[in-house]
Amino acid sequence: MDPLPYLAGYPADVQMRVRALRDTGRLGDYLAQRYPEPHAIRNDRQLYDYVQALKDRYLRQSTPLHKAIYDARLQVLKHALGTHTTVSRVQGGRLKANREIRIASVFREAPAAFLEMIVVHELAHLKESDHNRAFYNLCTHMSPDYHQLEFDLRLYLMHQDTASTTAG
């Protein structure tokens, strides 16, 4: 059997359980039950405020954030789960790092927990560029359930794909 697109790299028994959930049409219910809360972060202005508030709470000392936007062109899995760029610019003769966070626009409609998870992921990248132990420690510091959320986010994305295919 082919690996599930969002779960490549996960153990076969995990993939089998998820496949069963999907093929019996229970994936949507599972997600709706666990993540009933929507969020109200509709535009880039609100997204910036939301990201900044989380940053102030957990990473006040790190690089200032200049921009946070929803990006419709962003493929969620392409760059791990989001993207984070450092745009270097010469300003007043010295190089200044301008940090921006782009969030795939699928998160605009996603449950609140998944938006928080992806923002935590991107904020952690302000301090750690790799997905290493220190990176995940930061993620779980900001969001204790981080690993479960990241896993369930994969199920959510898989369900979105299935739903849009069926809707035709």
**Residue of closest CB approach to Zn ion:** 80
- Please identify, using beta-carbon distances, which residue of 150 and 152 lies nearer to Zn ion: 150
Output the smallest distance, CB 121 to Zn ion, in A.
6
| Residue 32 to residue 128: CA distance in whole angstroms | 32
Site for Zn ion contains 54 (CB under 5 A): no
What single DSSP character describes residue 74? Answer: -
Output the smallest distance, CB 97 to Zn ion, in A.
17
Output the smallest distance, CB 67 to Zn ion, in A.
17
Output the smallest distance, CB 84 to Zn ion, in A.
7
Site string for Zn ion, 68-107 (x = CB under 5 A): ------------x---------------------------
Q: Find all residues with CB under 8 Å of 61, minimum gap 6, and list them.
A: none
- Please identify, using beta-carbon distances, which residue of 31 and 119 lies nearer to Zn ion: 119
- Size of site (CB under 5 A) for Zn ion: 1
| Residue 6 to residue 18: CA distance in whole angstroms | 11
Output the smallest distance, CB 18 to Zn ion, in A.
22
- Please identify, using beta-carbon distances, which residue of 21 and 138 lies nearer to Zn ion: 138
- Please identify, using beta-carbon distances, which residue of 27 and 118 lies nearer to Zn ion: 118
Tokens of 153: 């986010």
Q: Are 42 and 108 a contacting pair, CB within 8 Å?
A: yes
Q: Are 159 and 27 a contacting pair, CB within 8 Å?
A: yes
Q: Are 88 and 98 a contacting pair, CB within 8 Å?
A: yes
Q: Find all residues with CB under 8 Å of 52, minimum gap 6, and list them.
A: 65, 68
Binding positions for Zn ion, rule: CB under 5 A: 80
